[in-house]
């Protein structure tokens, strides 16, 4: 059913300012604007590498406005590409998994998925030319008190092979979890984690917010160029090596992207912690 992560959906009370930040920092381009009645929002869609980012601005009373007022993160939903949207809808119907059809997308709340705060949007897979400084989005991180249960539920709902999943643990960031890979040959996945150390940023965030979508990750072919752009336009809005060789990893802070935490890794480097370090390609 699922082929890859192809978009992230973010709330943005000032979506045009948020779109400008994505353009200035990451080279994103606006590809369309419309309205999404199902979530009562005006939408701006950005091209970010081969992926898209949807910015939702509340337009009346609804779930988008509720998210803005209650959540500490702008990350609203994960967008997954499917081989055949009609077949995916028929499969969900056959299993009585609720969803809402909105144009060419299927929207699913966390309650319907069976995982608190894991909203999912399904879209027909469509290959796009790349653009900007990022290559593609490949990971969304979901926080939950029981990552094993969440991983099982994700596998069941989206018919994923749990043998492809990879356990993950980080002493540096204070969590353990599961990388729910969609395909063992690709990095695309939902990372579901349980923060256990409240002295760490993630643990403190989870203690305040509870289950939520916390951040997402993208690949970048030229992280040196990205670093130069960030140094120029948001010198205090990111974390990572400030000089030397092209960085393998860096983070763009929520204050720079209107509430969204973005991790960026050099292409292939994420295999280091994804079960196949031998797949990492040396820096050019």
pLDDT digits (tens, 9 = 90+) for 4-18: 999 999 999 999 999
d(CA 4, CA 17): 28
Query: Do residues 62 and 40 lie in contact, with contact meaning Cβ atoms separated by under 8 Å?
Result: yes
Q: What is the pLDDT of residue 153?
A: 98
pLDDT band at 29 (very low <50, low <70, confident <90, very high): very high
Interval 77-89 mean pLDDT: 98
* pLDDT confidence band for 199 (50 / 70 / 90): very high
Q: What are phi and psi of 23, to 5 degrees?
A: -70, -45
* Rama region for 140: left / alpha / beta (φ>0; ψ in -120 to 50; rest): beta
pLDDT at residue 1 tops 90: no
Q: Is the pLDDT of residue 283 over 90?
A: no
**What's residue 91's pLDDT?**
98
- Vertex 89 angle, CA 46 and 188, to 5°: 50
Does the pLDDT at position 94 exceed 90? yes
Is pLDDT above 80 for 271?
Answer: yes
**What's the average model confidence in pLDDT over 148-176?**
97
Query: Which residues, listed in sequence order, are joined to residue 202 by a DSSP beta bridge?
Result: none
d(CA 8, CA 22): 13
pLDDT band for position 277 (cuts 50, 70, 90): very high
Strand 75-82: give its sheet, edge to edge.
29-36, 41-48, 51-58, 2-11, 75-82, 120-124, 105-108, 100-102
The pLDDT score that the predictor gives to residue 252 is 99
> In angstroms, how far is the first alpha carbon of the chain from the final one?
35
Segment 41-52 mean pLDDT: 98
- Tell me what the pLDDT averaged over the chain comes to: 97
Residue 280 reports pLDDT greater than 90: yes
Alpha carbon 2 to its chain centroid, in Å, reads: 15
Q: Give the burial class of 126: count Cβ atoms within 10 A of its Cβ; 0-12 exposed, 13-18 middle, 19 or more buried.
A: exposed
**Mean pLDDT on 37-62:** 98
Residue 24, pLDDT score: 98
Q: CA-to-CA distance for 46 and 29, rounded, in angstroms? A: 5
Contacts of 9 by beta carbon, 8 Å cutoff, 6+ apart = 53, 54, 56, 75, 76, 77, 78, 79, 119, 121
Q: What is the pLDDT of residue 284?
A: 76
3-state secondary structure of 45: strand
* Domains of the chain (ranges, CATH numbers): 2-124 (3.10.180.10), 136-279 (3.10.180.10)
3-state secondary structure of 2: strand
Beta bridge partners of 216: 140, 262
**How confident is the model over 246-265, as a mean pLDDT?**
98
Distance of CA 50 to the CA centre of its chain: 14
What pLDDT shows up at residue 191? 99
Residue 81: predicted pLDDT: 98
CB 236 within 8 A of CB 254: no
Q: Average pLDDT for residues 88-96, to the nearest whole number?
A: 98
Average pLDDT, integer, range 38-56:
98
Q: Is the pLDDT at 62 greater than 80, yes or no? A: yes
């Amino acid at each position: 059913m699922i082929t890859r992560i192809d978009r992230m959906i973010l709330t943005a009370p000032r979506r045009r300012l948020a779109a400008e930040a994505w353009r200035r920092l990451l080279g994103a381009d606006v590809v369309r604007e419309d309205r999404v009645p199902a979530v009562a929002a005006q939408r701006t869609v950005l091209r970010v590498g081969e992926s898209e980012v949807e910015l939702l601005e509340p337009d009346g009373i609804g779930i988008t406005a509720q998210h803005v007022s209650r959540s500490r993160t702008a990350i609203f939903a994960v967008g997954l590409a499917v081989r055949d949207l009609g077949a995916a809808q028929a499969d969900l119907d056959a299993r009585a998994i609720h969803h809402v059809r909105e144009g060419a997308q299927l929207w699913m709340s966390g309650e319907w998925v069976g995982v608190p705060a894991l909203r999912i949007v399904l879209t027909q897979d469509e290959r796009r030319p790349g653009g900007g400084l990022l290559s593609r989005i490949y990971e969304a991180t979901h926080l939950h008190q029981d990552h094993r249960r969440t991983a099982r539920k994700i596998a069941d709902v989206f018919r994923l092979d749990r043998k492809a999943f990879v356990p993950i643990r980080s002493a540096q960031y204070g969590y353990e979890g599961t990388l729910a890979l969609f395909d063992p040959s690709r990095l695309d996945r939902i990372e579901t984690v349980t923060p256990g150390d409240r002295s760490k940023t993630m643990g403190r965030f989870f203690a305040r917010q509870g289950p939520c979508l916390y951040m997402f990750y993208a690949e970048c072919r030229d992280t040196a160029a990205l670093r130069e752009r960030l140094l120029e336009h948001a010198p205090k809005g990111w974390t990572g090596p400030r000089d030397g060789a092209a960085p393998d990893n860096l983070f763009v802070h929520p204050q720079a992207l209107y509430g969204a935490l973005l991790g960026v890794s050099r292409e292939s480097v994420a295999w280091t912690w994804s079960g196949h370090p031998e797949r990492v390609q040396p820096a050019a």
